[in-house]
Amino acid sequence: MTTTTTTTTRTPSTARAPGIPRTPAVARKPRIGLVAGGLGAYWPQFPDLLPQLERSAVRVAERVREFDAEVIDVGFISDAEEGAAAAARLREADCDLIVGFLTTYMTATMLVPIAQRSDAPVLLVNLQPTEAMDHAAFDTGQWLAYCGACPLPEMANAFERVGVDFRSVSGHLEDERAWQRIGRWIRAAGVRSVLRNGRHGLMGHLYPGMYDVSTDLTMVPGSFGGHVEVLEFDDLRTRVEQVTEEETAAKLAETRETFAVDGSVIDEDLRWAATVAAGLDRLVADFDLDSLAYYHRGLDGEIHERLGAGMILGSSLLTARGIPAAGEFELRTSLAMLICDRLGAGGSFTELQALNFRDGVVEMGHDGPGHLAISENKPLLRGLGVYHGKRGWGVSVEFDVKHGPVTLVGVGQTRDGRYRLIAAEGEVVGGPLLSIGNTTSRVDFGADPGEWTDAWSASGIGHHWALATGRLLPELRALAGLSGLELVEVTA
């Protein structure tokens, strides 16, 4: 069992709960700047070369758009002056990632200004026209169309010397392996943009005693960017009070369509949860939130306790819409859930529950909200007279994450205060589960459950994280490479 760290670089499926529309803000597209270039000295020497390279640049733009990206194409550059002009245009465009297409040899003076001035990470792509040249038939001009690899070491050397991080993908125009790698960088740029521009709600107070959950709010924008909106439970209370009978009825109808409702659910509790869910919708809209973490202890059944106890349904519906909501004031985990969701992999609020040494699995999940889009079967609402470790009562969500490959993603904090990503890959497998109103999954990490648990805990993870579908380590490496975050990988 090992723990490894990287700060550099399966495409996950898009997780979406049936019948639950994504919130419009979730549909933000990554803004990708595109610049292609080659050495202008070649154009008068080989008249057919530039038109061929420009056709290749058009194809690259088409493929980039296929990743659901907004492309700002500043055209083809042939010298340092045109490179400087492109840098100014790309800086003004406020890109999330700039793709520099090396079509043939070009000098570092053409791309260094773009890398330095555009205020965005740069990905260099070297995609020759086909898999290989026709050596017997090619002349010098035709060879130069395959010469994008030539300047790549020059760019890497220059970027290093001027203090710009370097990343590249080499292949050919229709090389799906290369495009899969390019797609990872584009998706990572989209996640980085969501974090940099996100608004993250933090409502209530810390669960008493949870040192690991306590969050330095300044480190959120310090590590990811974005803004933390500090909320009171009274912000929710006033909106719940404004919910109409029609809104509650609509939320009840949505609930019955989305969930299987167990016989243990009391109608009055379900109606209250639906009303709170409608109030949560108002809260999220009014504060323009991309994520939410919450907790309130409450006392003797007063209104704030009832609000906190009634949030599980609405928080699960929000999470399925792409606005992850986590209980127990777990802001760092709601951020991890947001990362997973934007990678199309869900991301459900999770902690360790038990170790099964007979079957070789780790059982994990959580009471409270879950990501409905990654449930193996139709999620269940169960009525609970007691929320273990919490005050209040009501309805809770129960499901097993889809069977197959999964990734655990958490946000840890080092002793010097820096945030870092912590991740591990495993596989959810079938088997017996408790029926106690919790999300619960059996995860096989290919190792002794006790040894794996010790290694996972030693990584510095808190006791909550996001459980997401698919193998996300390649995407997380790309995100770490773009954002400058440390990534700790726990592997068997």
Q: Of 26-35, 233-242, 249-258, which gets the smallest average pLDDT?
A: 26-35
* pLDDT at residue 8 tops 50: no
Q: What are the tens digits of pLDDT across the range 46-83?
A: 999 999 999 999 999 999 999 999 999 999 999 999 99
Structure tokens at 420: 């870092």
**Quick one: pLDDT band at residue 9, thresholds 50, 70, 90?**
very low
Distances, alpha carbon 407 to alpha carbons 167, 316, 462, 466, 473, in Å: 24, 20, 16, 8, 8
Which architecture does CATH list for 15-190? 3-Layer(aba) Sandwich (3.40)
How many angstroms separate the CA atoms of 150 and 444, rounded? Answer: 45
Q: Tell which residue, 401, 381, 233, has the closest CA to residue 312.
A: 381
How many angstroms separate the CA atoms of 203 and 125, rounded? Answer: 44
Q: What are the tens digits of pLDDT across the range 94-114?
A: 999 999 999 999 999 999 999
| Domain extents in the chain | 15-190, 198-491
Question: Whole-prediction pTM value?
Answer: 0.92
**Quick one: pLDDT band at residue 6, thresholds 50, 70, 90?**
very low
Q: Tell which residue, 416, 417, 482, has the closest CA to residue 7.
A: 482
Q: Do residues 10 and 405 lie in contact, with contact meaning Cβ atoms separated by under 8 Å?
A: yes
Q: Tell which residue, 328, 305, 442, 346, has the closest CA to residue 336.
A: 346
DSSP code, position 387: B
CATH says 198-491 is which class?
alpha beta
| Burial of 89 per CB tally in 10 Å (0-12, 13-18, 19+) | middle
The total number of residues shown for the chain amounts to 492
* pLDDT at residue 11 tops 70: no
Average pLDDT (114-139) is: 96
State the pLDDT at residue 162: 96
Q: What are the tens digits of pLDDT across the range 395-454?
A: 999 999 999 999 999 999 998 889 999 999 999 999 999 998 889 999 999 999 999 999
For the chain, the average pLDDT equals: 93
